[in-house]
């Protein structure tokens, strides 16, 4: 949801539904292919997948930026566990300002109420 905010600040419109897979097509962020591949590899913890994605990132965005991508992916791999394990609701301002975006990107499918309904 902060990507949406980032887009508002730079007056760019991103295909946010592309991030969750709710829609296909480019998201609209530079070098998104290598960034997403490396982020996905970090979450997978698959050393082979990581090596391929990391080498591609180094070639495309350089060593320092590659380490930054790994660092951000690692951080969000941790912080999402805190949110998932505490049933954390959205902050009030986010809840009201992101309703339409959450519906189109199908983020509401990750809500505790939906998960409880389908998983028991």
Partner 1 sequence: MLYQDQPLPVRRSVLDSHRSAYETFTRPGTWFTGDEKISILREARHASQCTLCLKRKNALSPFAVKGQHDALEKLSENIIDVIHRLMTDSGRLTETWFRSVIESGLSREEYVEIVGAVSTLIILDSFATGLGSDLASVGEAQSGEPSRVTNDNVLDCGAWVPLFNLPQEATDTGLPTAPNIFRAMGLVPSAIEHFFGVMRAHYGLSNMDVGISRSQVELIAARVSALNQCFY
Q: Using CB under 8 A, which of 11, 24, 25, 47 touches partner 1? A: 47
Number of residues that bind partner 1 (CB under 8 A): 79
Using CB under 8 A as the binding rule, the residues of this chain from 58 to 97 that contact partner 1 are 58, 61-94, 97
User: Does 13 sit near partner 1 (CB under 8 A)?
Assistant: no
Q: How far is the CB of 31 from partner 1 (least distance, A)?
A: 7
Contacts of 29 (CB under 8 A, 6+ apart): 3, 14, 35
CA–CA distance, 118 with 114 (Å, rounded to integer): 6
Q: How many Cβ atoms are within 10 Å of 38's Cβ, its own excluded? A: 26
Q: How far is the CB of 88 from partner 1 (least distance, A)?
A: 5
């Amino acid at each position: 949801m902060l990507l949406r905010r980032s887009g508002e600040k730079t007056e760019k419109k991103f295909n946010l539904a592309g991030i969750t897979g709710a829609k296909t097509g480019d998201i609209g962020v530079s070098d998104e292919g290598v960034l997403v591949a490396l982020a996905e590899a970090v979450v997978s913890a698959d050393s082979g997948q990581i090596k391929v994605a990391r080498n591609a990132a180094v070639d495309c965005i350089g060593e320092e930026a590659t380490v930054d991508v790994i660092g951000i992916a690692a951080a969000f791999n941790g912080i999402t566990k805190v949110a998932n394990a505490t049933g954390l609701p959205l902050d009030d301002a986010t809840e009201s300002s992101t309703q339409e975006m959450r519906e189109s990107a199908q983020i509401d499918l990750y809500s505790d109420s939906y998960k409880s309904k389908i998983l028991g």
